[in-house]
Structure 1
């Protein structure tokens, strides 16, 4: 048993203990092929949306996205009903609620340059079918929760990094706080939870990993806020102020434009399945001139509610 397979088994064991609901995964090809291991589960979040779990021997390398090919590293692309919605830069990824009914979620492993990772003639991908239930009603957001004074006070910083292929990605760093996506929507535990991304005051998504792709930006200035929240989605505060980082991102048309160097269409399961031109993508974290950064901002602003609750 390889290390990644063993890790996947341990995580699934924890998923089972927590009682999370997993769908059945169906690979894109029934045959066995040599290549890196690749396992996917799509888990119904107890509150809202879906949590995607990926374990693979491929090293997630968001700092090298949209650069040259390096064997054994890359990222993933996620498609819903054939439409690409985001990249995935780590083991966990949050997908908000879908329209009621059946949906096909396809996860494809990609190299740094966005070409698909293949095993022989086959793209390394997995396809999962999920059933989105009818909404039960509005989801209440928990009241802010003050961090106890006898505990280390968490903090968070954030930066937007320009992608060589166009657009931006978000990189966060938290202190005295552990990202615990496997416990999202569960009971609160001191010192752990996840983060919440808001753009111009509107909630966009949960953040489960160090790196997240920023999608849907238009040209102009945007206020980016990353707030720390507990497992049960309660915003964390210190001295009555939210624990969050806020900065202004100047997204010019030039920086958002696709360079064309890594463009490909969104067909399914073929060697031409590459990057959409209209996505807001991510860049190399080593390019300091391309980063916009902020330390913890105690401005007291509360993000607004949207479909990506939590």
Structure 2
């Protein structure tokens, strides 16, 4: 017997949002930050009813409490202008989960961080960290609580068990690059994905199934417009870069395959194996010794 009835999780608090859309078949989960005040219930109350017509499927408070606001088989307005592996407008095929978090903050003093809405947080008390990434830019960031992460993991395990159409977990910044920076850099996405999928990454397995073995004498030469080409743990653009391979480097190819309509090579470099985009690698043939 299913533990989801009409899109609602059994035994989970449900307080419906005003903005609930048409039926969808979700294939991904998108994690968000509320970028709001962190007092319990404030963000959830706003997301249930607001003038901007924003809505989301689940809200996770900092103490780990969770509330469902939109059935998982109905559209919520959480991602906006977005694209996932070539498929646009992610609201039509995704489940949105909001983590209560103040979002990017600036430095108010040596001891305090300042949120965009004016609240001040003691850096030491909240374990706030200052860091910069290409995706997020520079800022001060509040870690998620262990209770929040535990609830998120439990929710993912449940959803991926009950909804066979789901195949990935991603973030708002990934589907809306340059426009959004949530979840923040401290969100342990890859550890969560490893826990849920029980392997390095589901995309890696699919690419292996679609791939072909190549001869041991086949090499490619990195031919990227920039100085380096990222070698990735999996054939996807989620944050999984292992190492950057310099332009002009020759590397052996172990497998070649296609995922989501894009060609990839699995190569060896610096004692590691990983995936590179095939568009930036030219095949060459190394002559074997006579």
Q: TM-score by structure 2 length?
A: 0.25
Q: TM-score by structure 1 length?
A: 0.24
Instruction: Point out which structure has higher relative CO (alpha carbons under 8 A, 6+ apart).
Output: 1
Task: Give the number of the structure whose residues are more often strand, by fraction.
Answer: 1
Task: Give the number of the structure whose residues are more often helix, by fraction.
Answer: 2
